Each structure stands twice: as structure tokens, then as C-alpha cells.
Chain A
Amino acid sequence: MSAPKHVHDACDVLIVGAGASGAAVAWAVSGDTGAKVVCLERGDWSDPRSYLSADDQWEIHRQFRRSPNPNTRGLDVDYPIEDAQSPIKPLLWNGVGGSTILWSAHFPRFHPSDFRVQSLDGVADDWPLTYDDLADFYELNDELMGVAGLAGDPANPPRRPRQTPPISPGKPGERLAAAFDRKGWHWWPSDVATNSRPYGDGRGACNNCGMMELGCYQQAKASTDITYWPKAIRNGVELRTRARVVELPVDASGRCAGAHYLDAAGELHFQPAARVVVAANGIGTPRLLLASRSERFPDGIANSSGLVGKNLMLHPLATAIGVFDELLEGWKGPTACTIFSQEFYETDPARDYVRGFTLQALRSHGPAITALGSFATPLPWGRRHHERFEQVFGRTAGLAIVAEDLPEQHNRIEVDWSQRDRDGIPTARMVYTVSENSEQILAAGAEVARELLREAGAVDVIEQHLPADSRFHLMGTARMGDDPRRSVVDGFGRAHDVDNLFVVDGSTFVTCASINPTPTLQALALRTAMHIVEEL
């Protein structure tokens, strides 16, 4: 690497990535601590008033300019991710707020059992921490993000009253809820990091536009650019956008010296730091660690275990969409956030697979995306098309079957040094196959979903197995653990090999439960931040 053109004053804490986890760390290590904190983010700020949910062609934008797949939208802040060897495609956003700009804000917590799957079920590994270690951080994070929901769910440990009442389930959710009751199966309104009433710094309430994935015009959805970041910046954190970190160099003692990054003009900077926190997500983090090769770390920084990039978990998914003979107006309200069931969450020895699945209720989409099969198989074309469109549009209520993926080393993010992006960083490659266990979970989930939808009165069920563009959860690629030979970081996210380097995003997950990861990765990030504060 050539000599940096700009060398900055050293900071106490340097964060790479301003997404869900990076924002939480930025807020938590700043303020009263007096620490000098800098965050480097490759993307830009977003302006909620220019979100494309306010444009007539919103359904087109969702597929192209604002697709969650960076290879589809191809913006200049995105980096290439080679995905030919994965049936599930990478979905994320590069910018302040990270992937929470586009996320659906489903906000469930892991269960206590999720941290102990080896002890309980004899698979994968236990985490080096417990649910109780995280409980207070979950609560703190809820307060900062703002959660709509209802305390008292009998399938989960108790939690404090939610900040706002549940999001309306609409007719699709009500239909399914009644069917769950008749079956005697668990259901509960989803915890959603979206205001059902105004909450937080000038943030509005959800007006049920349905298009969370284009960014939230009302600022009801808790993307971290409008939750943590304003607070962190008031605390004095310096956030530099359009700053692409290309390498984490090491000093003579083998500690991380800071970061080399390129600015918008392509000029190389060096930001020295006492501590570096990597929060670039389950793809961006291993990519950066693997790209940071040195004499000391020839296979990438913090990679003496060889596990950086390995054990990628993605939550394979299937959907079952019930078609009803009644108009359910599923275009009203957040598509993915209504009610959920954890009746089949835990391992059941009577079944052929270990671990389980969550069912998340789905509403529906606008006309164009409905015709396109809601990102899966399009409706039939030709002379039957209109008849089918009329049967389906606005008349569906669906279930997403979210499978717990177990860690497997051959599922991975690797870097390809022969293909580099315009910054000279090697391309990330996703190599992933769905395990037999996950396939069995999906098959069992589909059976249960069919049964439930029939109970709800569906006249037809459309099933989709593993829609490619439906998985947004990137986990496991710098796993935590107590044993440096079998993990990359410890229970506080500190790299075993480099004591001033931390990882705080979903990369650190040991296992992934069958639910959305963000509350857990943010709680972990806050815990790491508090740990860092203690040593400042």
C-alpha cells in the first residue's frame, strides 16, 4: 500500500461502519466518557424526505435503484459481492444507518436456549455468554430504537412495556391470529422497531404505507441514522462518510494501528486509533479482516484460527401464501411485521431435525410486485393471467418460515484477490449451501404453514422454497468463543489475536436462532461498548 496522503490525529475509539451495530457503539462509547471517537462509513447519509416510497414508480425502485441486493442496484458506494455459489443472495445497504435504512424492523429477541444449543441439543457450540448477560442491553437498545409491541408474550422471557402499542395486524394478521387460536398454537404481535405512535427525536408514527424497504418517509421506522446517530453526534462523535476502509494495519507489537481508508476523491488516509471496532456486517467485516494481510497476519488480521469468513449463517426461508376468497387489503401496513408464532421454535426429539423455526405473518404487495410473485415466482402469463391476478391481489395472507441455520465451515465469505473493486479491495465471494437439517426444517415449516392457512380459510396456498432475494441476515463469519482455536473473538467481541480490535456485528454470532438478528447484535454491541468504556 502506498503512503497515506493524510494522517489524522489519533482517536481513542475508531469504528468501521455506521450501521445497526456501529451506531450503537458510537453512542455508547461517547459523551461522558470524554473519548475521541471517529466512525468511518463507506456510504452517505439518507434524506427521509427523498425516499422513493413517495414516488409513483415506487414498485420499480424497489426492484432496481433501491433493491436491497447491491449487485442489482449497483450504486457507486456498493462493493461487488460474487454470489454465483450461493442460492441465497446478499442483501444489505451501505450508508449511515447501514442495512437498517432498508430493513423491515422486525425486532425479536433470542431465547435463553439459543445461547446454549450444544448443552441442550448437542449441536454447534454454546455462546460464551447467556441471555441474562444481554437482558439489560436488550432493554436499553429497545429504549433507544423504540419498539412497538406488547409485553407478556408467554413464549419469551418477560420484558418491559414496549415503547408504543403493536402495529396493526390488519385483516391478514387477524385472520391468521384467529386460526392460531383455533389450533391452540402460540402467536403474539411482533415486536417491531417502528413507532405506532410518535416516539424519539422528532420521529413520526407509521402510516401503514407498506414500503418499509424503501426507507421510512415518516421516520417511524428505527433506522440508526435517526435513532443512535443524532445522539452520538451530539456526544461529539465524528462520522466521516464516503470513507472506504481498505485495510487495518498492525504496528510492530501486533496491535491494530488504526485504519487506512479512501475518501470520496480516492485519496488515502490513515486514522490512528487506540482501539478499532469493526461493524461492517457479516460480509463487510470478514472481507476487511481477510484483506488486512501483513507479515504478522498473512491470512488476514485476527485470523489465526482460520475461521474469519467461515460459518456463514443466513436463515434459509420458505413462504406459504394463503389465497382467500375475501379482500384482505394486505397492501396496507408493513409487509413483514404483524404477528408471529414460536410454537415450533425448539428442538422436538420426535422430529427428524434439530432446532426449529419461527413463523412470521406476511401481508402483501402492490400490483406490479404481486404480479411478479412478490420477489419469487411470477403469476402465470398469457390468457389466464388476469383471472389469477384478480384471485390473488389483496387477497393473501402469508407465513414466512424462518429456519435456524446451523454453523458449517464450508459456508463462508472469502475474498478473491484476482478480482478487486475500484478501491483495490478484493471482491467478497459468498459460498453457501443449504444444509439437510435446514431443508428438513423448511419442509416441516411448510407443512405447518399449509395447515394453518387452511384453518384460516385459505382456498389455495402458494409455496415458495428459498426465494433468492429474501434473506437479509448475515451471521457467523467472525464467531465468538472462549477458545482462540475455535473462534475469532471472545465474549466481548475482542479479537483473540489482537487485543485492541473488536468485532460487534452479526459476524460474531455462534448460532443464529430462527429469528431476526438485529436486536441481539445491537445488544451485543452495547455490551462490548460498555466493556470498552471500562478500560478507557
Chain B
Amino acid sequence: MTDQRLPAEERALLAAVLDTFLPGSPEWPAATDLDLPAEAIRLAGLSVAGLAPLRALLAALPAGFATHGPDERETALTALAASEPAGFGAALQAAYNAYYIDPRVLAIVAAKTGYRPGAPQPDGHELPPFDEALIAAARTRAPHWRQA
């Protein structure tokens, strides 16, 4: 999805922020690998505050943020988590949301855990019925609610 609402410069900054949040690992893709900014912008725009908090965070990033190394970026974002909490929170929420609804990421979650990606309905999940044997010990206790 292309987004018209953030100029290219801010989108590039956002990409750097997302990559700092989600740098990836040998088994997990980085935000960059997934082209996350467009989706993150869409999702951040769902909030009643719109993109304003996210843009405030981007505006508060130190000059040259996108060219800094991971340590410097992490330091900058840690500071902004305290000084720009609304923007930081909006960015992190958009990052995690965009990442964890991406089918490529969900496929990894599924492979590692058996989780079934996609809508929980209409199929739901199988669980064994309640086993009354579980309650055997709890049942032996005498009534103990307070008389009033």
C-alpha cells in the first residue's frame, strides 16, 4: 500500500525507527525486509489522534538518525520513550501491529508454536472438554463462605 500522507523524508525516518524496533535475527525478518512503513502508517492512522503523535516523534529524532548505527539509534529512541511518550507509544504500537499481522511473520510464529494464523472465526480452536477429575481435591473442601 502506498501512503500519501507522510512525505518521503519522514517515511525514510520511520523506516529507520521501525528497523531499530525490529532489527530481525537469523530466524526473523527485520522491518526493512518486510517494507513495513506503509502498513505502519496505515495502522497508526487508525487511532483517533491520527498520525500527529507519530509525526511528533519523527520530528523529535536527532539529526542524522537514519544514518546512525544501532547503538546510537537505540539510545535516541530510549530517550524519546520518556520525553515523547505519546509519539513513541504510537510508533511502537504501529510497528508491532504491522509486523505481527504480516503473513510472513505469522508463518514463522506458526512454525515455531503451532499457532494457526488468520481469523479465529469461524473455525475456532480445539480444546478437550472440562475434565471433572481436575476438581477432585477442590471438591473435598468443606463449604467456607462467610455467613452473613
Contact = CB atoms under 8 A, between A and B. Distances in A.
Interface of A: 51, 53-60, 63-65, 71-72, 74, 111-113, 115-116, 119-120, 130-131, 150, 152, 154-157, 165-170, 174, 177, 180-181, 186-189, 196, 206-211, 217-218, 327, 329, 331-333, 346, 366-368, 370-372, 378-379, 381-383, 385-387, 390, 393-394
Contact of B148 (A131, A152, A170, A327): A131
A60 B101 contact: yes
Contacts of B43: 60
Nearest to B47: A64
Given A71-B48, A181-B138, A371-B99, A383 B70 contact: yes
B148 A329 contact: no
What 10 pairs across the A-B complex have the smallest Cβ distances? A207-B124, A209-B120, A368-B100, A332-B125, A371-B96, A166-B130, A112-B148, A367-B100, A168-B127, A54-B121
A170 to B, nearest CB: 5
A390 B28 CA distance: 11
Interface in B9-64: 20-25, 27-28, 43, 46-48
Contacts of A383: 23, 70, 74
B7 interface: no
A59 B100 contact: yes
B120 A111 contact: no
A210 B28 contact: no
B138 A208 contact: no
B130 A58 contact: no
Contact of A115 (B48, B124, B135, B148): B148
A318 to B, nearest CB: 21
B97 interface: yes
A381 B124 contact: no
A55 B101 CA distance: 12
Nearest to A181: B137
B8 interface: no
Give the bracket for the number of chain B residues in contact with chain A: 35 or more
A154 B113 contact: no
24 contacts: A54-B120, A63-B46, A157-B145, A168-B127, A168-B130, A169-B130, A177-B138, A186-B138, A187-B138, A207-B121, A209-B120, A210-B120, A327-B114, A332-B126, A333-B127, A367-B106, A367-B109, A371-B100, A372-B93, A381-B92, A385-B22, A386-B24, A386-B28, A393-B115
Interface of B: 20-25, 27-28, 43, 46-48, 70, 74, 77, 92-93, 95-97, 99-101, 105-106, 109, 112-115, 118-130, 132, 134-135, 137-139, 141-148
Nearest to A171: B127
A382 B22 CA distance: 6
Given A113-B146, A152-B139, A169-B130, A381 B22 contact: yes
A156 B146 CA distance: 9
Contacts of B139: 152, 154
A250 to B, nearest CB: 37
Contacts of A379: 96
Given A112-B145, A113-B148, A368-B101, A329 B114 contact: yes
Contact of A120 (B23, B92, B141, B148): B148
A57 B101 contact: yes
A385 B105 CA distance: 14
B142 to A, nearest CB: 6
A56 to B, nearest CB: 5
Nearest to A166: B130
A346 B146 contact: yes
A168 B115 contact: no
A455 to B, nearest CB: 14
Most B-side CB within 10 Å, residue of A74, A166, A329, A367: A367
A333 B125 contact: yes
Contacts of B127: 168, 170, 208, 332-333
Nearest to A126: B148
A207 B123 CA distance: 7
Given A58-B120, A333-B125, A386-B27, A381 B148 contact: no
A57 B119 CA distance: 7
A77 B117 CA distance: 32
B59 to A, nearest CB: 20
